Structure formats: C-alpha cells, structure tokens
C-alpha cells in the first residue's frame, strides 16, 4: 500500500489542485506497479506555515517578502 506524502506551505495549492495532484499520482502508480489497485494508494498533504519552512537559513515567509529576484523565484516554489 503506497503512501505518498507531500509537504507544502499553507495555501500553495487549493483543495481542487490537491485532488488533481493526488489523482495524477495515483494514476501513475497504478500504471507503473502491476496489480496495484487505486484504492490501495494514499496521498497525504501537509500544509505547513511559511514561518516554519526554512530554506538556506531563511524562512519562506521572509523569502516571499524579499525584493531579491533569485530568492523571490525560489519562494514561488513554496
């Protein structure tokens, strides 16, 4: 029984987007793993506060507030 865990910052995906991502992941696993029923797959999303997610010693919350282009591009991924 595969369990796929996805960590994101809060608000990174809507509920509709989470459902779509979970469906696509499930479809891929069913395609690639013989005899795996879709019902056996769990996808779990963890929504983390941006102030609790730290990249390179800086919180994502801080990165989102920066004007520096490189850091702004990195923060978009969260």
Q: Are 46 and 7 in contact (CB under 8 A)?
A: yes
> Could you read off the pLDDT of 9-21 as tens digits, one per residue?
999 999 999 999 9
pLDDT greater at residue 69 or residue 24: 24
The pLDDT assigned to 68 comes to 64
pTM over 0.85: no
Length of the chain: 78
What was the pLDDT predicted at 62? 87
**What are the boundaries of each domain within the chain?**
3-76
CATH class of 3-76: alpha beta
Report the percentage of the chain scoring pLDDT > 70: 85
What DSSP element (H or E) covers 23?
A: helix 15-32
Q: How far is CA 6 from CA 13, 28, 67, in A?
A: 11, 16, 28
Tell me what pLDDT residue 69 has.
59
Q: Nearest-CA neighbor of 41 among 21, 60, 70?
A: 21
């Amino acid at each position: 029984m595969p369990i796929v865990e996805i960590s994101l910052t809060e608000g990174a995906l809507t509920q509709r987007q989470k459902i779509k991502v979970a469906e696509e992941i499930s479809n891929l696993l069913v395609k690639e793993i013989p005899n795996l029923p879709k019902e056996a797959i769990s996808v779990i999303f963890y929504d983390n506060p941006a102030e609790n997610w730290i990249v390179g010693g800086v919180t994502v919350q801080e990165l989102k507030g920066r004007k520096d282009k490189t850091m702004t591009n990195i923060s978009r991924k969260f």
